[in-house]
A and B are shown apart, each in its own frame.
Chain A
């Protein structure tokens, strides 16, 4: 039951990463944990027949930094900065998911203005994540550097906004239970509005370079197809799920925050391949821009924090809650169990990119190693969240 992947099942001998004792011409190759295409310290043990993948086993844990254990030994608020470091591209949505879980656990109301600010920051995060993903996906296709430079140029603009609001570029630590930490100023909102106006033309330029590109079409269309039934059964969420044609977006299904007040569409794919996943993200960015415009227009005045919310000495009553939001990578949820003490008794992160990796082997079988790199890129993983 506990056979190591490095152990030959028939002889029990320790096997090196490239092994020659398999029947026929099969070869086992270890990709990672140091591999330029694995987006961090991810490892895949790939069995190849020629160049075709016949077996693929992911190996996790190279960035397992004990987030859940640390959270059980610190206060509820003390875990907020750690959530930044889960999916370190999207600290704002991680904050929101955790704050929402605690708000459900303790029954804390959130003022209207804070809900709007949360939507603004979550959609900016979605823009940031999807732009970077498109850049990294092109990098995986072999388009070394240039699209990523375009993506990071735009990312810096959003990070500047985050920095001037929260004090930190990447690790924002901005949301609190019952609101947000600081109120965005009128000047900040004006700059954010300007960024949103400039983002559309950037997307046009980005798409003109990429979307119809012959090489991109050849490398991604029909690669890594996922069926809707498997996607649902395997718990796949987010753009991965919608690329298979399943209309499931928590912003619509749960209608959390103030999302029901906004008009936006959910882009759906048809083929479930890598190209659809890329296109879904581009289209989602356009919808995010629409949400942002409506949020700026409707942003009410008022407090940013619920004055009744308690930050110090916060002890929720006995019980538990599972809170989830639609993060850029999929459903990010937090399961909290309280025993009435100042620390959570159990703190669990439902990490979207970890569960989306369940079907990695199914997607890669029959494809070549070069395609596996693109398929992994299209799943959009961040190792901080996969291993926690």
Chain B
């Protein structure tokens, strides 16, 4: 199979308006990804499935990932020559920026016909609150049907064009999206015989400390 960079260039030539970014994966698995924009995602997915050199006919795995808003500190190191003529100093400059929160869907594609893969696709929402609509790839790969329902249920990403987008694991009247990082589970927490750590903190929160009993006087 061609490399992912070649594939990205080929997609960029075929879909000039599309915004396709190569998202590198620094882990030893080296499963790099292509980040697609929502507008062209379904057309590109159809191309990946039908192109004779790729034939990515199996969409194995669909996952959602929640990235809440977080503060990132960028460190830039610059070498400043010492005016006194000594060894040059390294100056660290820290800049803080807010990385906006977003939700992401990851698709793992393989080809059964040509036995290669995975090609990883990523789609990103605008934010975590109101711009959470992404195109559904269920019309391209039927295997995404239940998995996209699961992502909708647990992360709250709305898939446009999904034939039957309902909650799948939680019940229908449920309002939350429990796999989001800021989800608060119902406070039915039980204390353990020897509570410690998070459990103790949670138990204290749930069960207020008993009023200190008056010291027994002899």
3 smallest beta-carbon distances between A and B, as pairs: A319-B27, A235-B143, A107-B28
The 8 A CB mask of A247-260 against B (1 = contact, 0 = none) is 01000010000000
- A106-B28, A234-B142, A319-B29 given; A253·B115 CB < 8 A: yes
Interchain CB contact (< 8 A) of B169 among A61, A320, A323, A324: A61
Number of interface residues of B (CB under 8 A): 39
State the CA gap A235–B172 with chains docked (Å): 26
Are B28 and A358 in contact (CB-based, < 8 A)? no
Are B142 and A320 in contact (CB-based, < 8 A)? no
Residues of A within 8 A of B108 (CB): 322, 333, 335, 350
Q: Is A316 an interface residue (CB 8 A)?
A: yes
Are B65 and A337 in contact (CB-based, < 8 A)? yes
- A106 CB, nearest partner CB in chain B, Å: 7
State the CA gap A221–B31 with chains docked (Å): 42
Q: Is B57 an interface residue (CB 8 A)?
A: yes
Q: Is B146 an interface residue (CB 8 A)?
A: yes
Nearest CB in chain A to that of B29: its residue: A321
Within 8 A of A (CB), among B117-175: 118, 120, 141-147, 154, 165-173
The 8 A CB mask of A85-110 against B (1 = contact, 0 = none) is 00000000000000000001111000
The 8 A CB mask of A325-366 against B (1 = contact, 0 = none) is 000000101010110000001101010001101110000000
- B141 CB, nearest partner CB in chain A, Å: 6
State the CA gap A60–B173 with chains docked (Å): 15
Are B106 and A335 in contact (CB-based, < 8 A)? yes
Q: Is B179 an interface residue (CB 8 A)?
A: yes
Residues of B within 8 A of A61 (CB): 167-171
- A69 CB, nearest partner CB in chain B, Å: 6
Nearest CB in chain A to that of B174: its residue: A61
State the CA gap A317–B31 with chains docked (Å): 14
Interchain CB contact (< 8 A) of B60 among A235, A321, A337, A358: A235
Residues of A within 8 A of B28 (CB): 104-107, 319, 321
Q: Is B59 an interface residue (CB 8 A)?
A: yes
Additional 10 contacts, C-beta under 8 A, given A234-B142, A320-B27, A355-B146: A61-B167, A234-B143, A236-B143, A253-B115, A316-B27, A319-B26, A319-B27, A320-B25, A322-B61, A348-B63
Q: Is B112 an interface residue (CB 8 A)?
A: yes
Question: Using a CB–CB distance below 8 Å, which chain A residues touch chain B?
Answer: 1-6, 60-61, 64, 66, 68-69, 104-107, 230, 232-237, 246, 248, 253, 316-324, 331, 333, 335, 337-338, 345-346, 348, 350, 354-355, 357-359, 387-388
- A1-B165, A348-B61 given; A358·B146 CB < 8 A: yes
Nearest CB in chain B to that of A230: its residue: B142
Are A232 and B112 in contact (CB-based, < 8 A)? yes
The listed residue with most A CB atoms (<10 A of its CB), out of B169, B170, B179, is B169
The listed residue with most B CB atoms (<10 A of its CB), out of A4, A235, A317, is A235
Are A60 and B168 in contact (CB-based, < 8 A)? yes
- A244 CB, nearest partner CB in chain B, Å: 11
Are A69 and B170 in contact (CB-based, < 8 A)? no
Residues of A within 8 A of B170 (CB): 61, 64
- B121 CB, nearest partner CB in chain A, Å: 12
Nearest CB in chain A to that of B49: its residue: A233
The 8 A CB mask of B87-124 against A (1 = contact, 0 = none) is 00000000000000000001010001001001010000
State the CA gap A345–B118 with chains docked (Å): 21
State the CA gap A163–B155 with chains docked (Å): 39
- A68-B179, A235-B143, A253-B115 given; A105·B63 CB < 8 A: no
List 25 contacting pairs A-B, 8 Å CB cutoff, sorted by A: A2-B166, A4-B172, A6-B172, A60-B169, A61-B168, A61-B169, A104-B29, A105-B28, A105-B29, A107-B27, A107-B28, A233-B142, A234-B145, A235-B60, A319-B29, A321-B27, A322-B29, A323-B29, A335-B63, A337-B65, A346-B65, A354-B146, A355-B143, A358-B142, A358-B143
Residues of A within 8 A of B27 (CB): 104-107, 316-321, 338
Residues of B within 8 A of A346 (CB): 63, 65-66
Nearest CB in chain B to that of A334: its residue: B61
The 8 A CB mask of B3-36 against A (1 = contact, 0 = none) is 0000000000000000000000111110100000
Are A350 and B65 in contact (CB-based, < 8 A)? no
The 8 A CB mask of B49-90 against A (1 = contact, 0 = none) is 000000001111101011000000000000000000000000
- A388 CB, nearest partner CB in chain B, Å: 8
Are B57 and A232 in contact (CB-based, < 8 A)? yes
- A103 CB, nearest partner CB in chain B, Å: 9
Nearest CB in chain B to that of A254: its residue: B115
Are A64 and B169 in contact (CB-based, < 8 A)? yes
Residues of A within 8 A of B142 (CB): 230, 233-235, 358-359
